[in-house]
Amino acid sequence: MKQKSLLKNKHLNSSVIYSGSMIVQKYGFKLSPNFMYLIEAIKVEGYWSYKNFTIAIQNKNLPFLKRIEKIVRDLGIKSSKRILLKIKPNEDFSKEDATLSNDLVLNFHIEKSPFDESKKIVTNLPYKKKYNIKISIKNKTYNVIVNEGKEEFEIISELKAWAYLDLRFPTSNLLKFLTEYLKDNRKVRVQSFLFKANKDYVASAFSALIDAEGSLTHHRLFRTIRIRMRNKQYLKDWKVLLAKFCIDSRFSKNTNVEYGLVLKAWKILAKSKNWELNFT
């Protein structure tokens, strides 16, 4: 009964919300569920450095990054975006063997897999909805066509290739907030603020985690949410936090380096009542 009352009492933990709000306001922002979504997305999927004046998120999921872009815009923060393209040739090669072009010759670097030492050609392109990239390797020429789709970039090529939207929005105040709120802790954990916050903030932060690292499958009214990460403790933190709202989840060790959290959506609907998760 005590756990269920957490969802109903809007004034519960108001002192915690006030304290969190003061930290946010200190840097010119307003505490809101959307702001918590942004911060959790940066923690899980982003890279940020006050020293290098950088905040960036790269992901294949275009609706996810477009939601981030809107939140950033509503906060009055300027953003820029590019496309990160990775191409895997079928044969071994050196950088001197390859050229990349799109009317003009493009710069690129070689990325080597730590697992099988296979090589990828990596280039960072100005944002456009469509590209036709030509790649020449050892006198062989290939085309890599990149089109912006609804969910992700669609690629047409006989070579394997992957395209990511690269969203950047560095700003001094947000970097200062991240440094204080996360206490410069780069090992991602669920902050103590969320353990004492109300459902709106927790639900928004959890939605960011799902959009960044999760998958949602459904059959009729039955839905399953799966999250896979290398950060064991972060997922365990979420299991504990979700239990506070009477939401069951199953933690698992998938491989030697990957862990999982699984939720059955009918449990969420039945037990969380008005707890809404806004997935992109």
Chain segment 87-115, per-residue pLDDT in tens:
999 888 999 999 999 989 999 999 998 77
pLDDT 10s digits, 6-31 = 333 333 344 444 456 677 888 999 88
Judged by DSSP in three states, 186 sits in coil
Would you say residue 272 has pLDDT above 80?
A: no
If pLDDT is split at 50, 70 and 90, which confidence band does 189 have? confident
Would you say residue 273 has pLDDT above 50?
A: no
Q: For the whole model, what pTM was predicted?
A: 0.83
Tokens 């496309």 found at = 83
Would you say residue 4 has pLDDT above 60?
A: no
Contact 168, 18 (CB under 8 A): no
Would you say residue 279 has pLDDT above 90?
A: no
- How large is the average pLDDT for residues 118-146? 95
pLDDT 10s digits, 233-265 = 999 999 999 999 888 899 999 888 899 999 886
If pLDDT is split at 50, 70 and 90, which confidence band does 169 have? very high
What secondary structure letter does DSSP report for 183? T
Q: Are strands 250-253 and 80-88 parallel, antiparallel or unpaired?
A: unpaired
If pLDDT is split at 50, 70 and 90, which confidence band does 232 have? very high
Report how far residue 202's alpha carbon sits from residue 274's, in angstroms, rounded to the nearest whole number: 13
- How large is the average pLDDT for residues 26-53? 92
**Tell me, what's the pLDDT at 184?**
54
**Tell me, what's the pLDDT at 22?**
75
232-244 vs 199-213: helix crossing angle, rounded to 10: 140
- The share of the chain scoring above pLDDT 70, in percent, equals 85
- Which of 191, 232, 182 is CA-nearest to residue 48? 182
Question: Out of 97-106, 185-194, 220-229, 261-270, which region has the weakest mean confidence (pLDDT)?
Answer: 261-270
Would you say residue 1 has pLDDT above 70?
A: no
**Tell me, what's the pLDDT at 80?**
97
